[in-house]
Amino acid sequence: MNRNYWIAIAVAALVVGVLLGYGIWGPDAGRVPEMEKELKAAQAELEKSKKDVADLKGNLGEITNQKLNLEKENADLKEALQKASKRKGR
C-alpha cells in the first residue's frame, strides 16, 4: 500500500504540473517564433504565385483573342485578294 500511495502522489503531481504549465503559458507556448515567420513568408509567396498565375491566365486569354482576330483578318484579306484577282481576270 505504501508503494501505491507514492505512485498516486507522483501521478497527481504530474497532472497538476501539466495543468499549471498550460495555465501559465497557454496554447501559444508550443509555437516556435521561427516557424511562424517561415509560415508567414510561405503564405505570402503562395499568394504572390496565385496572383501571378491569374495574371498569366488573363494574358493568355488576351493573346488567344488577338490570335483569333488575326486569323479572321488573314482569312478576310485572302478572300479580298481572291476577289480582286478574279476581277482583274475579267
- Give me the pLDDT at residue 89, please: 67
Cα angle for residues 21, 22, 27 (degrees, 5° grid): 135
Question: Domain residue spans in the chain?
Answer: 1-30, 31-90
pTM of the model: 0.47
Beta strands in the chain (DSSP E): none
pLDDT at position 1? 65
Placement of cell 488567344 in the chain:
64
Cα angle 9-14-19, degrees, rounded to a multiple of 5: 125
User: What does the block give as the cell for 24?
Assistant: 501559465
- Residue 21: partners with Cβ closer than 8 Å, 6 or more residues away: 29
Q: Tens digits of per-residue pLDDT, 29-82? A: 767 788 889 999 999 999 999 999 999 998 998 999 999 999 999 999 999 888
